[in-house]
Chain A
Amino acid sequence: MKFWITSLCKGLRAIVWDRFFALAAIAAAASGALLYELKGADAVYAALEDDIPVFTLLVLFLPAVLMLAAIIEVMLPKGLVERWLGAGSGFRGIMVATFAGAFTPGGPFVSFPLVLALYRAGAAWAPLVTYITSWSILSMVRTLVFEVPLVGVELPMVRYLACILLPPVAGVTAQFITRFYRPPEGGIGRK
C-alpha cells in the first residue's frame, strides 16, 4: 500500500512538473507576445518592471520557506497527531485539527493518506472534516509558497482573519450532520 502511494506520488510529480513547466512557458511567451501586439513595447517593459519586487520577494523568502516545509515534513511525529484527534476528543479535537491542518505541509499526497490513517486509528468524523477544511483553507505553507509571492500580503492577511473560525464551524456542522446522515456499514475508504 505504502509502496503504491509513493510510486504514484513520484509518477504524478514527474508528469505534473513537465506539463506545468511547458504550460507556464507557453503562457508566458504567448501573453508577452499578445501584450506587445496590442499595447506595444512600453507596456511590456512596464509589466516587467512591476514584476521586480515580486521576484525579489521570491528569491529572498522561498528557499527558507521550502526548507521549513521539508523540515516539518520529515520531523512531524505521526503518532502525536493521531493521539490528539481520536474519538471522544470533542471540541478539543476540532481545535487541534484546525491547528494541525493549518500547519500540515505538502499537497493532497500528504494530507489525504494521513486522514485515512487517522480514520483507521479511530479519529472521529468532526475532527477529520475540520482537519481537511483547515488544511484546504488555512494551509500556511501553500499561502507562503504560492499566494504571498503572487498576490502580495494584503489579500492573504484579510483571508486568514476572515477564515480563522471557519474550520471549527465546518467541524461542528459535520458533527451535527452525522446524527442523521449515517456512515455506510463496513466503514469507508480503500481497504
Chain B
Amino acid sequence: MIVVCSILWGVVAAILFTTWRRRPELIPEILKRFRSNGRIFVGVVPLALLAAGFLAPLVPSDLVGRWLGDEAGVAGLFIGMLAGWCLPVPPVIFYPVIAVLLKAGAGLPQLVALIVAWNVFALHRTLPMELPLMGGYFVSLRLMSSIVLPVVAGFAAMGIVELLGLG
C-alpha cells in the first residue's frame, strides 16, 4: 500500500517537475483543473462514505444475500442488471450504494453486472448530454451494441472469482 502510494506520488511529482521546467505556462491550467475536480472530494465523498458506513449495518443482509448474493447465482446477475438500469444516479451516489450492498453480502459477479449495466445505460448522462449532442441514431446504435454486456461481464466475473478463489 505504502509502496504503491509512494510510486504514484513520485510519478506525479516527476511529471509536474518536467512540465514546470519545459512548459511552465501549463502549470496554472493544471492547478485550476485540479482544484475544480477536487472540490467535490473535499465535501461530498467523505460525507457519502460516512453515510454508507452508517447504513451498512441497517440493510437486511439476508435479503441482499438472497437477491444479489452468491446463492442468487445466475438469476442474481439478471437482478443486478435490472437494478443497474434503474439507478440513473451520478457516481457520488452510486458507489456508496455499492459499498452498502457489498458490506451486506452481495456477490462480486452480481455487483459486476449491476455496475456494468449502470455504466452502459446511465440515463443521467445519456438524456442530458449524449442524446442532445450525438442524436438518436448514435444512442440507439450504442445501446443495441452493448445491451448484453452486463450479463456477459457477470458470467466472466463468476469464472474469475472461481479461478482466483475469491468471495
Contact = CB atoms under 8 A, between A and B. Distances in A.
Interface of A: 13, 16-17, 20-21, 23-25, 27-28, 30-32, 34-35, 38-39, 43-44, 46-48, 50-51, 54-55, 57-58, 60-71, 73-75, 106-109, 112-113, 115-116, 119, 125, 128-129, 132-133, 136-137, 142, 145-147, 149-152, 154-155, 158-159, 161-163, 166, 169-171, 173-174, 177-178, 181, 183-184, 188-190
5 contacts: A13-B36, A27-B51, A64-B9, A159-B157, A170-B146
Given A27-B47, A129-B142, A154 B166 contact: yes
Q: Could you tell me the dominant secondary structure of chain A's interface residues? A: helix
Contact of A35 (B19, B54, B109): B54
Interface string B44-65: 1111111111111110000000
A75 B20 CA distance: 13
B37 A158 contact: no
Contacts of A21: 43-44, 47
B61 to A, nearest CB: 13
A17 B39 contact: yes
A24 B47 contact: yes
Contact of A43 (B49, B57, B95): B57
B98 A39 contact: no
Nearest to A132: B142
- Contact residues on B (Cβ < 8 Å of other chain), bracket: 35 or more
Contact of B57 (A39, A74, A159, A171): A39
A161 B160 contact: yes
B122 A136 contact: yes
Contact of A38 (B30, B58, B132, B137): B58
Contacts of B138: 119, 125, 128-129, 188-189
Given A50-B53, A155-B102, A163-B156, A68 B12 contact: yes
Contacts of A129: 138, 141-142, 145-146
B111 A108 contact: no
Contacts of B46: 55, 58
